Amino acid sequence: TVGAVALDQYGNLAAATSTGGMTNKRYGRVGDAPIIGAGTYADNQTCAVSCTGWGEYFIRVGVARDVAARMEYGRQPLAAAAQATLDKVAQLGGDGGLIGLDRQGNITMPFNSEGMYRGYIKANGQTEVLIYK
């Protein structure tokens, strides 16, 4: 799975996710990536999120919207909201990660699997690409 979240100069957020799904899948199985609110979500008032991981758990938790809802209702900051939601996935036995971005330009990239290909570029040009924990 691949994904991107962006904040433009007009203050708008957007999120995108694309995947081949799970190796050896049957019966037209679909994971979280194309399910809005599970693997992909964006709302200017809270955050933009793109997920990657064991889809069934991300769907059952509704991860992408859960992160935004924690910010909206619980007034949690992005990083805390993302970590709390990912902890919920782990409690159920799922693994994976997500990238998140809010309208102040704050970034979060938590994951509880062994690694996650991830990276960012900020307004000042600061950029980083990471693979392992």
Partner 1 sequence: SRITLVIHGGAGTITRQNMTPEKERAYTEALNQALQAGYTVLQRGGTALDAVEATVRVMEDSPLFNAGKGAVFTHDGRNELDAAVMDGQTLKAGAVAGVTVVRNPISAARAVMEKSEHVLLTGTGAEQFAREKGLTIVEPGYFYTEARYQQLQKALASEKGAVPDQLNTPTKTTPAAPVPTKTKTKTKAGKPQGYAEPPIFTEGRKYG
- The verdict on 123 binding partner 1 (CB under 8 A) reads yes
The nearest distance, CB 14 to partner 1, in angstroms, is 4
Catalytic residue among 1, 17, 52, 108: 1
Residues numbered 1 to 30 that lie near partner 1 (CB under 8 A) are 1-28, 30
Among residues 62, 61, 46, 55, which one has the least CA distance to residue 13?
46
- The verdict on 79 binding partner 1 (CB under 8 A) reads no
Q: Which residues contact 95 (CB under 8 A, 6 or more apart)?
A: 53, 54, 57, 89, 112, 113
- The verdict on 119 binding partner 1 (CB under 8 A) reads yes
Residue 57's identity, in one-letter code, is: Y
The DSSP code for 26 is -
1 an active-site residue?
A: yes
- The verdict on 86 binding partner 1 (CB under 8 A) reads no
